[in-house]
Amino acid sequence: MAEKQAVKVIANNKKAYHDYFIEDKYEAGIELAGTEVKSIRQGNVNLKDAFCTVKDGQLTALGMHVSPYEKGNIFNKDPRRPRRLLMHKREILRLGAKIQQDGYSLIPLSVYFRGPRVKVEIGLARGKKLYDKRESAAKRDAKREIDRVMKSRNR
């Protein structure tokens, strides 16, 4: 029986949940240099403006910032370089077909360690309009208010 591996979340992309409706989530491996892995272990990764593309049957993450490792000297890579994501060919082709549809994007949602490996959770996302963002903010505020009132009544 397979053992469960520990999952340690390094970075989340909270802005993605604000700007997009996440329709589906996928897990992908990521191709990194050694100093980049060390930098990610220290938590020096930013997903804020990152997105993914499918080109020539390969999935690539663009705009993902991995700060240079401080002790990496000449082995450090460019912090914003394109990084290849690793998935099965069939999954990549299916995602490529979906993002060809109008309004769909692939957005990295989080970076985490599953055992010794770095994984990226990517989401198939559809962009929100301004009124959608206002509506979700109003729902969040209403829920917060209800929770606050219920908490004060239970005391």
- The predicted structure's pLDDT at residue 90: 93
pLDDT grade for 144, boundaries at 50, 70 and 90: very high
User: 14 with 20: CB under 8 angstroms?
Assistant: no
Structure-token pair, residue 98: 């979906």
The class of domain 7-128 in CATH terms is mainly beta
- The predicted structure's pLDDT at residue 17: 86
Residue 31 has pLDDT above 80, yes or no: yes
Half-sphere exposure of 96 (CA within 13 A, CB side): 14
- Strands 51-55 and 45-46, by their bridges, are unpaired
d(CA 81, CA 135): 36
135: Cβ contacts below 8 Å, ≥ 6 apart: none
Give the domain ranges of the chain. 7-128
pLDDT grade for 8, boundaries at 50, 70 and 90: confident
DSSP letters along the chain, please? -PPPPPEEEEEE-HHHHHHEEEEEEEEEEE---HHHHHHHHTT-EE-TT-EEEEETTEEEEES-EEPPPTT-GGGPPPTT--EEEE--HHHHHHHHHHHHSTTEEEEEEEEEEETTEEEEEEEEEEEPPHHHHHHHHHHHHHHHHHHHHHHHH--
Q: What confidence tens digit (pLDDT) does each residue in 97-136 have?
A: 888 877 788 999 999 999 888 999 999 988 888 888 898 8
Model confidence, pTM = 0.79
